[in-house]
Amino acid sequence: MRSDEITAAAAGTWTLGDLTVNRMGFGSMRLTANPNRELAITVLRRAVELGVNHIDTAAFYFSPGGILDVGSGQTRYATELIRDALTPYPSDLVITTKVGPGFADDGTFSMASTEAQLRAQVQENLRRLRRDHLDVVNLRIVKRPVPDSIAERFGALVKMRDEGLIRHLGLSNVRVDHLDEAQQIAPVVCVQNGYAIDTNRGDDGLLKICGERGVAFVPFFAIAGPQREAGPAESHSDPVQEIARARGVTPQQVRLAWTLHQGRHVLAIPGTGNPAHLAENIAAGALSLSPTELAQLA
């Protein structure tokens, strides 16, 4: 079967609270790096056509450093691209967003720490996405030496959930103690951390605990690995390359397949601005690795 004939359903499903999503989703961050707005719109629409019903975004995903769109004179926001591409939204589409990082009025980067600041970010997401509520909101933090309580910030989001502005809550860039603290306050449906076959493997334990508690673990940079925002990893381990050659797939697809094999509760959100890469990423959800191959990759 050709890669562009495989849909996101091949990876199976998971539930975020009462919302069922395909385990192969889409991350929108990289869309803002491409000056071709129409191509970004095309990629988003094609993702949905290929069965993606879980899209990750954030209000702070916009053209790098606030750079203006080529030809338009406007900063491009991922949330607005999603809105323009997909409204009216499909009934089964789940949009997960993040609050925490943001920019002050003078344009400097800052982290929201008060209820008022977090509420302003929630309202910005609602406005740019043109929605009356947000499906899932992750509290994104900067990890600091213990203790660094998230109770006040998470509690502020719980209040907004109770007001109907948010449906479900998650966490991003956290440790096990943060998850423990948040779950004492309200249900957590997902944890989103940087994680890959060659990156942040110290989170193996957190991934396992999430599975035991029925919490989705959502790795970002699963393809990029240590290159993070710079894009797809340019070098791969020998086992990754060997399996890719033997299977007739790309190393990136092997990386994604390995990610999904870490547990039924693990969701993938690879991002791209390239339609061909989009199809390849989604097709990786159908790539079943054997115990021998997984042992090689381990």
Query: What is the set of active-site residues?
Result: 61
Look up residue 166 and give its DSSP letter. Answer: E
**Across the chain, which distance is largest between two alpha carbons, in Å?**
54
In whole angstroms, give the CA distance from residue 86 to residue 129.
10
Residues 287-296: contacts with CB under 8 Å, at least 24 apart? 287/247, 287/249, 287/253, 287/254, 287/256, 287/257, 288/257, 289/243, 289/254, 289/257, 289/258, 289/261, 293/243, 294/258, 294/261, 296/239, 296/242, 296/243
In whole angstroms, give the CA distance from residue 111 to residue 92.
31
| CA dihedral sign, ordered 271, 182, 173, 124 | positive
If phi > 0 it is left, if psi is from -120 to 50 it is alpha, else beta; for residue 100 that is left
Residue 198, Cβ density class (10 Å: 0-12 exposed, 13-18 middle, ≥19 buried): middle
Residue entry with tokens 């090689």:
296
Q: CA nearest 77: which of 64, 91, 87, 63?
A: 63
Residue 181 has phi, psi (to 5 degrees) of: -65, -45
Cβ pair 98, 140 in contact under 8 A: yes
